[in-house]
Amino acid sequence: MNADTPRSPAASVVITTHDRDDELATCLASLQRQTIPLEIIVMDDKGSAATRDLVARIASSARYLHAGTGQGPAFQRNAGIAAASCEIVFSFDDDVELVDPTTCEKTLPDFADPQVAAIGIPFVNVRISQEVHHVTAHPRQQLHAFVGAAHAVRRSAFQQVGGFRAHYFYMGEEGDLAIRLLDHGHEVRAGTAPPMHHFESPRRSSRRAAICGRKNDVLFVMHNVPMPQAIVHLAGTIVNGLRFGLRHGHAGWHLRGLAQGLSEAWQHRRDRRPVSAACYRDYRALKRGSAGAALAWTAKPQP
C-alpha cells in the first residue's frame, strides 16, 4: 500500500456542539493527535457557518453535519451515531480534550467481549477536582450509567435498543440508555484508557440542568421501572428531588422540573416499556455499588 494512501478508520467519533467554537477547536486538535485513524463527525446543534469553517480548518477530513437547530445533545448523538460507518463509535462533548494520544486506541480492547455495548471512558472534571470518573476497582466491573461527555458505544447494540430518547434533551439520558442495554443482555463497563480532561463550560446553564435533571428523573421511572416498584421509585424521586433543590438552592427550578416530568410522563405514557424485574433489581444493585463484574441474570463464564 502506498504510504500516502489513507488508512481505513478504526472507529468513528461523534462530537456534539452548539456555539462553543473555542472548546471545539481544542477537542478537534486533540483528536488529530490520536494514534489510530478515526472517522470524525461533528454534529452542530446551531448550524453556524463559523463552526463549519473551523471544522474544515482544523480537521479537514471531518464530516460536518447539521441536523436541526436546538434539538439537544441526545438528538444530535443519535443522528451522529446513525451517520457513523464504524461499529465502535466514540461520543464526546465539545468541551473535552484527549490529553493522551492513545485514549481511543486503548479503549477499543474494552469492547473485546461482544456482550459489552458501552464504555464510560475515564475523565477528570479539571475545573472542579482531580477525581477520575468512570474508574472501578475491577477491570470488568459494570456501570449503572456513564457520563455522556466521554463514552463509546457498540453501534449495533445502541441501535437495537433505539438509542437515546431524544425528548430527554440532556441530563439523565445515559442512565436511561444503560438500563435498556442491560435489559437486552448487554453490559456497560468502566474503561481502562488514560483519563480525558473535561472542561465544563462556564456557559453551562444551571437552570436548564436542574429542570432537565428532575424532569428526566421522573421520565426514567415512567419509561423503565416495572410495577409495583415504580410507585416507590417515583415517590422517592419526587422527595429526593425536592430535598436536593432545598439543599442546593433554586428549589423552584427543581420543582418545575418535577412538574414537567409528570406532565411529559403522561404525554409519553404509551411509550412505557418497563424492564424486567430482574434487570431492575440488578440495575439498582449496580447503582448502589454492590454488584461485581458479572450479574447473576447475565452471568457467563469468565476466563
State pLDDT tens for residues 14-65.
Answer: 999 999 999 999 999 999 999 999 999 999 999 999 999 999 999 999 999 9
Q: Tell how strand 150-154 and strand 63-65 pair up.
A: unpaired
Helix or strand run (H / E) with residue 246: helix 229-248
Confidence of residue 69 (pLDDT cuts 50, 70, 90): confident
pLDDT given for residue 241 in this prediction: 93
216 with 266, same domain: the answer is yes
Residue where one domain finishes, among candidates 163, 198, 233: 198
pLDDT given for residue 292 in this prediction: 40
Q: Considering only CA atoms, which of 139, 141, 229, 216 is closest in space to residue 173?
A: 216
* pLDDT tops 50 at residue 299: no
More confident residue, 294 or 88: 88
Range of the domain at 234: 206-288
24 with 123, same domain: the answer is yes
Name the DSSP letter for residue 131. P
Average pLDDT over residues 85-105: 97
159 with 59, same domain: the answer is yes
pLDDT given for residue 3 in this prediction: 47
Residue where one domain finishes, among candidates 198, 224, 252: 198
* pLDDT tops 50 at residue 291: no
pLDDT given for residue 5 in this prediction: 56
190 with 108, same domain: the answer is yes
pLDDT given for residue 141 in this prediction: 85
Q: Tell how strand 150-154 and strand 96-97 pair up.
A: unpaired
* pLDDT tops 60 at residue 11: yes
Considering the domain boundaries, does residue 28 fall inside one? yes
Report the helix count and the strand count for the chain, using DSSP H and E. 10, 11
Residue where one domain finishes, among candidates 198, 233, 259: 198
210 with 175, same domain: the answer is no
Give the type of residue at 274: P
Considering the domain boundaries, does residue 27 fall inside one? yes
Contact 72, 166 (CB under 8 A): yes
Considering the domain boundaries, does residue 3 fall inside one? no
39 with 60, same domain: the answer is yes
55 with 170, same domain: the answer is yes
Give the type of residue at 220: F
Helix axes 206-224, 229-248, angle to 10 degrees: 170
Q: What is the 3-state secondary structure (H, E, C) of 8-68?
A: CCCEEEEEEECCCHHHHHHHHHHHHCCCCCEEEEEEECCCCHHHHHHHHHHCCCCEEECCC
Considering the domain boundaries, does residue 82 fall inside one? yes
Confidence of residue 170 (pLDDT cuts 50, 70, 90): confident
pLDDT given for residue 301 in this prediction: 32
99 with 246, same domain: the answer is no
Grid coordinates given for 41: 463527525
- Give ∠ CA 295-149-57 in degrees, rounded to 5: 140
Considering the domain boundaries, does residue 79 fall inside one? yes
Confidence of residue 159 (pLDDT cuts 50, 70, 90): very high
Contact 70, 43 (CB under 8 A): no
* pLDDT tops 80 at residue 136: no
| C-alpha torsion 21→120→89→169, nearest 10 | -60
224 with 88, same domain: the answer is no
Mean of per-residue pLDDT scores for the chain: 91
* pLDDT tops 50 at residue 95: yes
User: Could you give the strand order of the β-sheet that contains 63-65, starting from the edge strand earlier in sequence?
Assistant: 63-65, 38-44, 11-17, 88-93, 150-154, 116-120, 187-190
Render pLDDT for 253-266 as a digit per residue (tens, 0 to 9).
Answer: 999 999 999 999 99
More confident residue, 249 or 91: 91
For the chain, the domain total comes to: 2
284 with 157, same domain: the answer is no
Q: Is 123 helix (H, G, I), strand (E, B) or coil?
A: strand
Considering the domain boundaries, does residue 302 fall inside one? no
108 with 257, same domain: the answer is no
Grid coordinates given for 222: 415512567
CATH of the domain at 86: 3.90.550.10
